[in-house]
Amino acid sequence: MSTPDITVLGGGIFGLSVAWACLARGARVRVIERRAIGAGASGGIVGALAPHTPENWNDKKQFQLDSLIMARSFWPEVEAASGLPSGYVQSGRLQPVPDARSLELAHQRARGARALWQGRAAWNVVDEVPGNWTPPSPTGWWVHDTLSAHIHPRHAVAALAKAFENKGGELVFGAATPQGIIIHATGYEGLLELSDKMDQPVGGGVKGQAILLEYNAKTLPQLYADSLHIVPHHDATVAIGSTSERDFDSPDQTDAQLDDIHARAVQALPALADARILERWAGVRPRAKSRAPMLGAHPLYQGQYIANGGFKIGFGMAPKTGQVMADLILEGRDAIPDSFKPAASLR
């Protein structure tokens, strides 16, 4: 590649999505990754693409709704361009309703979804679900939303990186000098570095632990029970997660908290009791101070940009994140919500 128009620092889901969107609009794009594709939180195992509740609507929830709808075409296009599976399945999600108050709230949210999701997805309250892929419900009712989906994070970033290369993008590993317009998508370590340079907390990392089981549920819905995401994958595995640890000594070591998660998952879904454990995973997710993604002009470097802070919803936000960053960088159109801009984490 000749001198790139754009250099993206970081080969996680935000960096690759921005690179892919800019490449699609004709820019020459280079991605520099210090270690490996998905080396940080994007190399996890859970992959729950789940919406915020359809109530108290705001720009963040609208952005996520738009992005989850975009995912329905985004990931099939990536798969076609790469020849690799992403694990994306528009599966929906089941949640047991624990008590009468929650049932009333579920019906309220169903009405909210009809108004706010504009017919693009539904939030249904149901009293019958088929098969044994169902957490017991104390009330005999479940929420089934059709907006949720699931994805295999590692496979997804591998497919996106391959699609990017196949379409003419350049991947560089290790130390390299960025050229052209620079976009910082450097995960929680980048947020810590930014906090240090600005001498104020603007973001950092939250550790998560998850477990991968051998169990064939493939295209079945993801589940949300006892505050756990139970996510089937296309390769006949099921991921369960995760913890949220603000204080931790080791970013990549699992501990007894994961044993508790496993036990709770089996209690919520007894069908998993005999499933073989394939992997125990731990990693640190980037969380901006505002709790929203941090997108837009870099707060320190004039003419440069940042795309960071995906936290627990990075994969769900990725398709639209790439779109709005390409809008801003290549066309000068700013469609980024104010709550996502770096200033929101600098207050």
**Can you give the pLDDT at residue 1?**
63
**Can you give the pLDDT at residue 78?**
98
Task: Kindly list the structural domains of the chain, giving each domain's residue range(s) and its CATH number in brackets, ordered by start.
Answer: 6-88+149-202+289-345 (3.50.50.60)
For residue 4, what pLDDT band results from cuts at 50, 70 and 90?
A: confident
Spell out the residues 6+ positions from residue 231 whose beta carbon is closer than 8 angstroms to its own. 46, 47, 48, 150, 222, 223, 238, 239, 240
**Can you give the pLDDT at residue 132?**
82
> Regarding beta strands 93-96 and 142-145, do their DSSP bridges make them parallel or antiparallel, or are they unpaired?
antiparallel
For residue 248, what pLDDT band results from cuts at 50, 70 and 90?
A: very high
Nearest to 91 by CA among 142, 151, 34: 151
pLDDT tens digit sequence for 273-298: 999 999 999 999 999 999 999 999 99
**Can you give the pLDDT at residue 125?**
97
Q: Is the pLDDT confidence value at 130 over 80?
A: no
For residue 336, which phi and psi values (nearest 5 degrees)?
-85, 130
Angle between helices 153-166 and 13-24 (to 10 degrees): 30
CA atoms of 160 and 139, how far apart (whole Å): 42
CA atoms of 169 and 160, how far apart (whole Å): 11
Distances (CA, A) of 26 to 19, 114, 288, 323: 11, 38, 30, 13
Residue 87 and residue 75 in contact, taking contact as beta carbons nearer than 8 Å: no
CA atoms of 278 and 292, how far apart (whole Å): 32
pLDDT tens digit sequence for 176-189: 999 999 999 999 99
DSSP tag of 59: H
CA atoms of 100 and 21, how far apart (whole Å): 45
**Can you give the pLDDT at residue 242?**
86
Nearest to 161 by CA among 81, 104, 241: 81
Q: Is the pLDDT confidence value at 3 over 90?
A: no
Angle between helices 59-82 and 314-331 (to 10 degrees): 90
Quickly list H helices, 127-255: 153-166, 187-198
CA atoms of 141 and 121, how far apart (whole Å): 19
SS3 238: strand
pLDDT tens digit sequence for 195-233: 999 999 999 999 999 999 999 999 899 999 999 999 999
CA atoms of 146 and 196, how far apart (whole Å): 42
For residue 197, which phi and psi values (nearest 5 degrees)?
-70, -30
Is residue 45 packed enough to be buried (19+ CB in 10 Å), middle (13-18) or exposed (0-12)? buried
For residue 75, what pLDDT band results from cuts at 50, 70 and 90?
A: very high
